[in-house]
Structure 1
Amino acid sequence: MERFKGGKKNKHIADVLRVTERSVDRWRRQWRERGEAGALSRGSPGRTRLNERQIARLERELERGLLAHGWAAQRWTLTGNRTLIGRLFHVSYMVEGTWRLL
């Protein structure tokens, strides 16, 4: 939503989040029509979500840094976060779901 407020183009947002422009267009339309509440994900029915204890563990693991988890990169990416969540909790998130979680 900050990207919408900042005037970023749909293509830029889609590229950063690795999603389609169509998805970003839908999110922007919902944001315009209903504000921030309209743009929030309602989630997939029956989808496994991290509980508070798991989120606390994820925060600790992210603080340990990339090297502790086998990455040589300089900073975390949504894809890296998504991969770490899968490895730690055996839960699969889409990139935009990871963005919302974090």
Structure 2
Amino acid sequence: MTPPTARTWARRGHTPVIRVRGRSHRRISIAALACYKHGERTRLIYRPRRHVDHREGGRRSFTWTDYRDLLIDAHQQLGAPIVLVWDNLNVHKDRRMRQFIDTHDWISCYFLPAYAPDLNPVEGIWSLLRRSSQINTAFTDPDHLMRTLRHGLRQIQYRSSLVDGCLAETNLTLATPRPQPQ
């Protein structure tokens, strides 16, 4: 992962150059759920995953079973039904994922419009993560990156006002007003 850069410097008249070693073929993915409920503290449930080198037959991203397991864990932690508001990632729309959602009455699923990251509160979480724990960091190995990700996500998780701010930034509300009969 190429680290984001917040500040750099160079002599006047010279363009700053930041050298980054070649890219690794290892890949780390994170899935997260921002959980909101009226009258309760906002929760962030996440799962980072380190993938095997894809050239050795490994996958480069989460599978539908990884998302399924995350939903089951979230349901157990929250002890309540889940209303998913998902973006249009192909794994979210996978036939097997749809079957799983349709066979469980504790999940309702809605999809955001295409190309609408500004309506997805989790995109704000990724922005906070990149701007806080990853800024100006050159990771020495995948374990260092994984530790830093977990630490950064834990910091966001413990400050529920940050997760609330990500929802506020979308201008979405938790409950929509019911149409009044005319």
Per the normalisation by structure 1, the TM-score is: 0.31
Bigger-Rg structure (1/2) = 2
**Which structure shows the higher strand fraction?**
2
- Between Structure 1 and Structure 2, which shows a larger proportion of helix residues? 1
Query: TM-score, normalised on structure 2?
Result: 0.21
